[in-house]
Structure 1
Amino acid sequence: MADPRRVEFGDFLRSRREKLSPKAVGLPAGRRRRTAGLRREEVAQLAGIGVDWYIRLEQGRTVSPSVTTVDALARALRLSKAEHAHLKALAREPARSPFTREIVPPPIRRMIESLHQPAYITGRRWDVLAWNDAAEEVFGFGRLPEQDRNTLLLMLTNKQTRKSYGAGWTDVAKAMVAMFRANHDVWAGDPAFTELLTRLRESSPEFVEWWEAHDVRSTISGRKTMNHPTKGVLHFEHTSFQANDDPALKLVIYTPV
């Protein structure tokens, strides 16, 4: 069976190729094209690699591209910084055990409990592992079953969350899917991630559409506006930090503005 990471690598190449026009890379449009985007041979030419080799990469075959090849593909496909980093991560040989739910060390748990602004800890699968009272007032994590305490599930399948974001829900949810895609692909094929994807596919038609686009983006700070059922309209700046104790843990803080 093909390595799921290699499959994701190939699918990502294909998705970027199909979104790139000949004009964008200085190539003539030529004869009428039956499919959108560049042809495989055009990408191979731009990257300076063999067509057969490129086809094997896009098909997710068990081949290991060098760093030089990955960089050449990134230039040929005009990848963004986040997309380039994602391609490099997928090209690396996997060296990990099956996913297990992370454990938050007591000092980190006590630290977030002492904060006055909403704060919580997530893991690699975006499960919410710990949170403070202020976060409970806003997000109500404690009222959810443990298997539903996941920020992507909460955004895409929880009706109250969708309602609270109003007209801004689509932009926030779509951005989250692109950020999660970067996390997921390096864990492609892992049962825990497959289970989460199955739930999302079954519950959210928007997720299915956005997921197939294979867009990726890096996690960045920003602003969110929520209409809370009892607190009214809330404006926050949100930012996140990795924990030195375990880089898989991410601290997310919402600062009222």
Structure 2
Amino acid sequence: MPIDAAKALAAEPRTGEIGWAHKDVLLYHLGIGAGVPATDPAELRYALESRLHVLPSFATVAGAGAPGVISGLSLPGVEVELARVLHGGQHVQVHRPIPVQGTATTVNRLAAVWDKGKAAVLVLRTEAADADGPLWTNDSQIFVRGEGGFGGERGPATRLEQPTGEPEHTVDRPVREDQALLYRLSGDWNPLHADPDFAKTAGFDRPILHGLCTYGITLKAVVDTVLDGDPARVRSYATRFAGVVYPGETLRVRMWRPGPDTVRVEVGAVERGEAPVLTDTVVQHT
């Protein structure tokens, strides 16, 4: 069968070395829409090397990797078509602020394979550490359509109760027409986000935005709106990808504060009646 869960889970972890510099951080920030207006001091902390702070979501692309989708499909025991794959969810835990430049050792392994009936979910875990200790732990959930039903564990329920009451903050974030073309330069070369013919093969009218781009746009909105523009306050960030975003649309980011160190977030596409894009989204912070 295309997914051999036992073989995949038994595979040895893969260890590698990654490095990044301020140019990589700047490109990532521009790829998630930072730098507008270009003279705004609040934006220059993401877009000017002399003032640079690193959003924790950078961990998803550090080292020019594409954790989760592309690398997950190269694991032993996993043979699936790229066109049947979607990014289902993401969780990043940062153990300390990510430096503007650095090197790290990464350990990649398959943490779980879940059988959802009509689909399989692969959970790829990446742990990064440098000479000073752990930097981040990154879990990517890969949703593979048509590969369930193999008799495996269904996995934990991840749905959260919907936030109650009106959001404390609501902000809109426009997505540029070329946003996916810019974001992919940080390392995720999946043609689903650039090639119209491939997108149609995958069942979409046109290329869709990377889920991790929406993920980064949303975290930046939370940091700028709730955390005084300080990315170092973020401790963890989890979401479930509930729908697609098309370049050129507008994201509506709604935020609630259920506790002193927690932000609940829901994101919808304005032009499609606020169709859900990110849900079950939680930012934990100091």
Instruction: Answer 1 or 2: which has greater strand percent.
Output: 2
Same fold by TM-score greater than 0.5: no
TM-score w.r.t. the length of structure 1 is 0.23
